[in-house]
C-alpha cells in the first residue's frame, strides 16, 4: 500500500502544483510541507496544528478532506508512538492546571487590581468635586 505522504505528493504533482505555491497560499513553511509528504510526522507541530497543516495542504491542492484526514489519522496512529501522541495532551493538561483555580488563602491579583482602580476613582472623584464646588483642591 502506498504511504500517505507519497500519495499526497503524487496528487500534488499530477496537478503540477509546487510546494512553494502551497507555501505561499497556506503560509505553512516548506519544511513542514516536506515533512508531511515524507511521512515525518514527528517534525510537525502537535495536536490541532498538525491537522491544520494537513487541511491547508488539502485545500491548496484541491483534495477532499474527509477521506484524506481519516487516512492521515490511521497512518499517524501507526507511525507515532503513544508517548509522542500523549505529549500534546500532557502539555494541554499542564496549561489547564496552571491557569485553573488556585488553591490557598492568597488574594487573587485581579481583586487587588480592582481595589486599586476603585481607590483611584474615589480620589479622582473627590478631587473633581472639591475643584468644581469650591474652586480649590486643598484648604
Instruction: Give domain limits for the chain.
Output: 4-95, 109-139
The pLDDT of residue 89: 61
**pLDDT one-digit tens code per residue, 53-89:** 999 999 999 998 889 999 988 888 887 665 555 555 6
| Residue 105 CB neighbours (<10 A) | 4
Compute the C-alpha angle 74/78/80, nearest 5°. 110
**What CATH homologous superfamily does 4-95 map to?**
lambda repressor-like DNA-binding domains (1.10.260.40)
The pLDDT of residue 86: 53
Q: What helix, strand, coil percent values describe the chain, rounded to 5? A: 75, 0, 25
Distance CA 47, CA 124 (A): 50
Distance CA 29, CA 32 (A): 5
Distance CA 18, CA 5 (A): 15
At 133, the pLDDT band (50, 70, 90 cuts) reads confident
The H-assigned helical ranges of 80-134 are 82-99, 109-134
The pLDDT of residue 123: 93
Q: Name the pTM for this structure.
A: 0.58
Total residue length of the chain: 139
**pLDDT one-digit tens code per residue, 99-116:** 765 555 556 778 888 999
Say if residue 26's pLDDT is above 60: yes
Amino acid at each position: 500500500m502506498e504511504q500517505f505522504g507519497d500519495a499526497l505528493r503524487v496528487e500534488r504533482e499530477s496537478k503540477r502544483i509546487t510546494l512553494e505555491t502551497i507555501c505561499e497560499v497556506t503560509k505553512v513553511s516548506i519544511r513542514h510541507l516536506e515533512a508531511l509528504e515524507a511521512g515525518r510526522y514527528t517534525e510537525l507541530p502537535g495536536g490541532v496544528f498538525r491537522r491544520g497543516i494537513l487541511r491547508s495542504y488539502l485545500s491548496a491542492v484541491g483534495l477532499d478532506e474527509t477521506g484524506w484526514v481519516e487516512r492521515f489519522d490511521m497512518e499517524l496512529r501507526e507511525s507515532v508512538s503513544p508517548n509522542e501522541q500523549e505529549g500534546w495532551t500532557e502539555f494541554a493538561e499542564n496549561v489547564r492546571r496552571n491557569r485553573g483555580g488556585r488553591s490557598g488563602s492568597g488574594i487573587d491579583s485581579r481583586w487587588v487590581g480592582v481595589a486599586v482602580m476603585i481607590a483611584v476613582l474615589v480620589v479622582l472623584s473627590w478631587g473633581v468635586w472639591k475643584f468644581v464646588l469650591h474652586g480649590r483642591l486643598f484648604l
